[in-house]
């Protein structure tokens, strides 16, 4: 059993399927002088707030101030006030005010008031993770609010088209960026790993389009659809000029992103109170190279099954498939210390009864990703290969092991310095 230990700051909400957003909105386009239909992102689904309130982690760590939420009064503000507030945000990404943005702000400040309160509470756990990943790749930090419109800050959110996690990756893109997806494991639900994958993807999209609003559009509907819209718009690379040539949801996507940035900063002006968030108990991770069930850990280590599930959203069942490759388990510090003290007793506890189910949960082998305990990377169908940084690694050692150079590693991963951390994924090819 490997006992590499890494302090992890993460907060996992339990699964729920995002409801379809409220009916399409009709917005006025000043450029065309007519009303157009836009569709809100899945993360603005009407049932999101109630679903979050029922989840174990929300009930344990987040407290809503119902007296504050009882007031649904949403003050009226002028176009000039909205424009001025948006201009005062310390952002690199252009955030203009228009009717589409206004209607998305109204959705958050009226219909989704409770959701905003919950997200402000959950943001205490997630925003630092997002900021670390974005900073690693030198991306605008306002992108930390992208998961607000994608998943309403739920790491196991599932869209109607099968995108999963905080950043809503589809399987093909997830594997391309080094996330493992099998019948047993779905790293799209891992807050840390998915955030670094999303940062790499956003950086690659910026290398293609060189404009952040186009990057956001491409993140939603794919780079090919954005390129087609640019051609149909006569070659314009202004998002608001190609706007009418994009899919309905993408027409609503950038306005929703602007509205999310607005409401997460100016919630007080709309009489929305943040939910109180109690910092979760400290957690550590441990790597295991044997199969183990959540039930075995829960019965022996003084931690509930619900909490293990919440801390390990990347596992689709209660099985941690350590025999396939070293796999991480995140536990509270006390539970992990008990796990280490008991050692083999945990793996042997009810093994015949619990691990016999392993035979019906054999993962579907992916032809696009491979990994081993010897540090071999995950290779996508496009030839990209990734490794996970181990404790004590440096860029020179990784370069030698993988037949490359430090300069090439920095270029592939957008690194400006030599600093790397254990658990970080690096592209080596």
Q: What positions carry a catalytic annotation?
A: 150
Whole-angstrom distance, CA of residue 234 vs CA of residue 240: 13
* 3-class secondary-structure state, position 204: helix
Q: Would you tell me how many other CB atoms lie within 10 Å of the CB of residue 268?
A: 9
Q: Among the residues of 137-170, which ranges form H helices?
A: 146-151
Whole-angstrom distance, CA of residue 158 vs CA of residue 145: 18
Whole-angstrom distance, CA of residue 121 vs CA of residue 264: 11
Paired strand residues for 26:
37
Whole-angstrom distance, CA of residue 336 vs CA of residue 7: 12
Residue 297 makes CB contacts below 8 A (sequence gap 6+) with 303, 308, 329, 331, 335, 339, 346
Whole-angstrom distance, CA of residue 335 vs CA of residue 59: 21
Question: Pick from 315, 310, 334, 328: which is nearest to 61 by CA?
Answer: 310
Whole-angstrom distance, CA of residue 309 vs CA of residue 336: 15
To which residue do tokens 């998943």 refer? Answer: 151
């Amino acid at each position: 059993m490997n006992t590499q230990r890494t302090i992890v700051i993460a907060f996992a909400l339990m699964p729920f399927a995002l409801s379809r957003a409220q009916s399409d909105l009709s917005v006025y386009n000043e450029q065309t002088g007519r009303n157009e239909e836009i569709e809100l992102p899945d993360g603005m689904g009407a049932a999101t707030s109630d679903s979050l309130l029922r989840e174990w982690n929300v009930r344990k760590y987040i407290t809503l101030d119902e007296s504050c939420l009882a007031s649904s009064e949403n003050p009226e503000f002028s176009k000039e006030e909205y424009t001025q507030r948006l201009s005062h945000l310390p952002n690199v990404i252009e955030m203009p005010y228009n009717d589409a943005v206004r209607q998305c702000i109204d959705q958050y400040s009226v219909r989704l008031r409770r959701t905003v309160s919950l997200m402000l509470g959950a943001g205490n756990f997630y925003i630092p993770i997002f900021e670390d990943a974005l900073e690693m790749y030198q991306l605008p930090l306002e992108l930390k609010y992208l998961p607000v419109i994608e998943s309403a800050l739920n790491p196991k959110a599932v869209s109607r088209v099968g995108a999963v996690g905080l950043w809503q990756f589809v399987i093909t893109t997830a594997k391309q960026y080094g996330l493992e997806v099998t019948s047993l494991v779905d790293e799209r639900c891992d807050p840390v790993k998915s955030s670094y994958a999303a940062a790499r993807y956003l950086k690659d999209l910026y290398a293609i389009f060189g404009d952040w609003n186009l990057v956001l559009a491409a993140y939603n509907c794919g780079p090919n659809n954005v390129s087609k819209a640019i051609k149909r718009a006569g070659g314009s690379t202004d998002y608001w000029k190609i706007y009418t040539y994009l899919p309905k949801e993408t027409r609503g996507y950038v306005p929703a992103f602007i509205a999310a940035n607005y409401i997460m900063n100016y919630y007080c002006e709309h009489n929305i109170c943040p939910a109180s968030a109690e910092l979760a108990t400290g957690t550590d991770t441990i790597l295991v190279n044997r199969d183990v069930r959540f039930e075995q850990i829960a019965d022996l280590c003084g931690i509930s099954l619900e909490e293990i599930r919440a801390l390990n959203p990347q596992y689709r069942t209660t099985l941690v498939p350590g025999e396939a490759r070293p796999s991480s388990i995140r536990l509270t510090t006390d539970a992990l210390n008990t796990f280490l003290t008991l050692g083999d007793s945990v793996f042997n506890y009810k093994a015949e009864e619990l691990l016999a189910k392993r035979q019906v949960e054999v993962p579907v082998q992916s032809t696009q990703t491979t990994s081993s305990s010897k540090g071999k990377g995950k290779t996508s169908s496009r030839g990209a290969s990734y490794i996970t940084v181990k404790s004590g690694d440096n860029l020179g050692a990784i370069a030698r092991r993988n037949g490359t150079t430090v300069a090439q590693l920095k270029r592939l991963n957008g690194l400006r310095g030599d600093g790397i951390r254990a658990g970080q994924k690096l592209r080596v090819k």
